[in-house]
Amino acid sequence: MQMVSPQVSSPSASSPVSSLIRKHSHIRPVIISVGSPALAAYSLVLTSLNTRSVYRRASRVSHGSRAAVAAALISLQQLPLELTQDERLFASIPISDWWKQEIGDRLSRRETWSLATATSIACVIIVSTFALVDSLASLSSFDSVGGSYDGHVVGTAWLCLLCLVVGWMWVPGLDSDKLETALYFANQQAVRRATKEFRKAGEAAKRFINLPRERLVNRSVQGVGNRGNSGDAGREPNQNFDLGANLNGREDINGVGHVVEGSPILQDQMDPETDQLLILKDLGSLNRDERRPSVTFNYSRTLRYLALVDDVFGTLDKLTRGRDVVGLLRKCLMSEVVSLVFIRRGLPLGLLPLCSRRRMCSLRAHSPQCSRRRSWPSFSSVGQPLGPRSS
């Protein structure tokens, strides 16, 4: 396995991220905010409403790391990101440390002053000075209309910019270099931690579940066709696909055994440069505004951003509910090892109500005790594997 330590390597000019972010576009936000304060104000409000919707979406997920995920996602609003479709990398989504350290800490200090802010505040100061001078001058002079109105007119017109400046203070943007670094290291760490999670899950499975060999082979063969769309089309279909199929929202715990036995995932090296959990989307001229990391252009990223938020939390939800091999193993083996051992030993099942019924059943299905009582009420509703059961 290829370990990339974040301290040694740094996002160079050749990193795939840095060429996509249009970092040096500072003048466009200024033009947009002067030319159309409505658009800039719309972006501002949209940014903060997106923040709220992230929290609302997070509150529907019952996973321990949801706060960290939400905080990290909120600071990633300035990039056009998309969740990968490579299911191997989903294992790093529930890790709250990953979100917290790689994204949250790196983006903790926010940039409150940008060129757009400075320009706007300079404009407002200049205009208000002129307006003041103008009105004072016209007060002293004899004017039939009673004072000049020019200062008032222009002053009110430019007052929108003052609004925007204050709004930018409330909804601060992030430095583009910082965003790039955070994304780069986050993707590298995602690969690393996903591999670690798989290894952990594999070892745990090896320890606690001993399955007949022939069932494993059947399962893994039938799983190959299920993974329809891979993340990048250019990669050759290799033997990791059966694991991906098993991770594909299917409660197919037998696949884990295959991972342990054949363990293609443990030998496979996910390349941190190409396998990214959060893909920075590049569509050329079509989304050039999206790749400008300024708060003013947040309006163009909204649809993609909300899709990303929904994807991330949906995946997290799926992992939480134990519909996934890795999530299932993590939850079950951490908290219910003891009761599992009790069941295996044939102790009375009176301990069962202490544990979650759903998770318990998915584990019990493979224990000798459970094969007698297949008609456990909630088992059939949890998620039958689509293929014919080979038992």
Q: Which residues bind another protein (CB under 8 A)?
A: 28, 31-32, 34-39, 41-42, 44-46, 48-49, 51-53, 55, 58-59, 64, 66-67, 70, 127, 130, 134, 144-146, 149-154, 156-160, 162-163, 166-167, 170-171, 283, 285-289, 299-300, 302-304, 306
Closer CB to another protein, residue 284 or residue 353? 284
In degrees and rounded to multiples of 5, residue 82 shows phi and psi of -145, 145
CB of residue 388 to another protein, shortest distance in Å: 32
Closer CB to another protein, residue 298 or residue 315? 298
Contact (CB, 8 A) for 219 and 258 = yes
DSSP β-ladder status, 278-280 and 81-83 = antiparallel
Closer CB to another protein, residue 255 or residue 293? 293
122: amino acid identity, one letter: A
Closer CB to another protein, residue 111 or residue 268? 111
CB of residue 41 to another protein, shortest distance in Å: 6
User: What is the C-alpha to C-alpha distance for residues 281 and 34, in angstroms, rounded to an integer?
Assistant: 28
CB of residue 104 to another protein, shortest distance in Å: 13
CB of residue 264 to another protein, shortest distance in Å: 31
User: What is the C-alpha to C-alpha distance for residues 19 and 258, in angstroms, rounded to an integer?
Assistant: 40
Closer CB to another protein, residue 4 or residue 67? 67
CB of residue 159 to another protein, shortest distance in Å: 6
Q: In which residue are the tokens 């370990």 written?
A: 3
Closer CB to another protein, residue 20 or residue 162? 162
User: What is the C-alpha to C-alpha distance for residues 364 and 371, in angstroms, rounded to an integer?
Assistant: 8
DSSP track, 132-190: HHHHHHHHHS--TTSS--HHHHHHHHHHHHHHHHHHHHHS-B--HHHHHHHHHHHHHHH
CB of residue 250 to another protein, shortest distance in Å: 25
CB of residue 303 to another protein, shortest distance in Å: 5
Contact (CB, 8 A) for 78 and 302 = no
Closer CB to another protein, residue 289 or residue 336? 289
Contact (CB, 8 A) for 2 and 269 = yes
Comparing CA positions, the residue from 390, 342, 381, 383 lying closest to residue 364 is: 342
Q: Based on the number of CB atoms within 10 Å of its own CB, is 100 exposed (0-12), middle (13-18) or buried (19 or more)? A: middle
